[in-house]
């Protein structure tokens, strides 16, 4: 049976606080001129926030391996879409265009 003990409110409150703090951080960082790193910083913070929600609020931290596998697979599949899409667009100039195009 998958029911666990109730999580103490303290834990949830800490995660909640972290999420708000990270939101403030990400807005602050966006005001700095970091060039390419703006994007990387924003995405990193978003991934951390998302992970906190998944692990603590959605309780994946204490879930079965199977649940973790499905969660991971979902994000992995979206990554497949994005990576392969980008692999086309970013590599368009790398090799000469074939004669039929």
Instruction: Confirm or reject binding of residue 84 to other proteins (CB under 8 A).
Output: yes
Instruction: Confirm or reject binding of residue 46 to other proteins (CB under 8 A).
Output: yes
Q: Is 85 exposed, middle or buried (0-12, 13-18, 19+ CB in 10 A)?
A: exposed
Binding site for other proteins (CB under 8 A): 1-3, 6-7, 9, 12-13, 16, 19-20, 23, 26-27, 30-31, 33, 38-39, 42-43, 45-46, 49-50, 53-54, 56-58, 66-67, 70-71, 73-75, 77-78, 80-82, 84-98, 100-101
């Amino acid at each position: 049976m998958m029911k666990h003990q109730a999580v103490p409110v303290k834990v949830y409150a800490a995660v909640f606080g972290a999420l708000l703090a990270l939101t403030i951080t990400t807005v602050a960082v966006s005001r700095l001129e970091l060039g390419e790193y703006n994007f990387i910083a924003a995405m990193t913070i978003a991934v951390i926030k998302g992970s906190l929600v998944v692990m603590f609020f959605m309780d994946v931290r204490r879930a079965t391996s199977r649940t973790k596998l499905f969660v991971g697979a979902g994000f992995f599949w979206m990554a497949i879409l994005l990576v392969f899409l980008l692999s086309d667009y970013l590599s368009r100039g790398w090799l000469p265009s074939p004669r039929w195009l």
